[in-house]
Amino acid sequence: SPLYKVRDFKVEDATAHSILVGWMGSAVDAEGKELGDADTAEGQYKTAAVFPAGSAMNVTKTLTFSRKGPFDVKAEYEHPEALLPGTPKELGTFRIELPP
């Protein structure tokens, strides 16, 4: 309606909880060529906070893994104790198949 004027405003969505991505370490991880600690042994489960609490939503991130075979990537909340009761920690597990 032309009788009402509203000031300009901006709405920004942000994540309330940190989201981790996890994977099993490989020999490449041990050499320090992949995301994570360089001193991590092969076969050790590793995680990285990809979306920290308070980060903007609707953001795309690219992760690079140097792998020679198929592997699994798991997404989960970092602090399950901060979630509502009955909310699972795990968001999903994704199998990455490499082309032959």
pLDDT in tens, the chain (100 residues): 678 888 999 999 999 999 999 998 876 554 544 444 444 456 789 999 999 999 999 899 999 988 888 999 999 999 999 999 999 999 999 999 988 8
Q: pLDDT at position 34, please?
A: 45
| pLDDT computed for residue 41 by the predictor | 56
DSSP state of 30: H
* E-only strand ranges, 1-100: 19-24, 45-51, 71-77, 90-96
Look up residue 74 and give its two tokens.
């798991």
Q: Give the pLDDT of residue 93.
A: 96
Pairing between β-strand 90-96 and β-strand 19-24 as defined by DSSP bridges = unpaired
Name the residue among 22, 42, 46, 19 with its Cα closest to residue 30: 42
pLDDT of residue 26: 73
pLDDT value at position 27? 61
Give the SS3 label for residue 65. coil
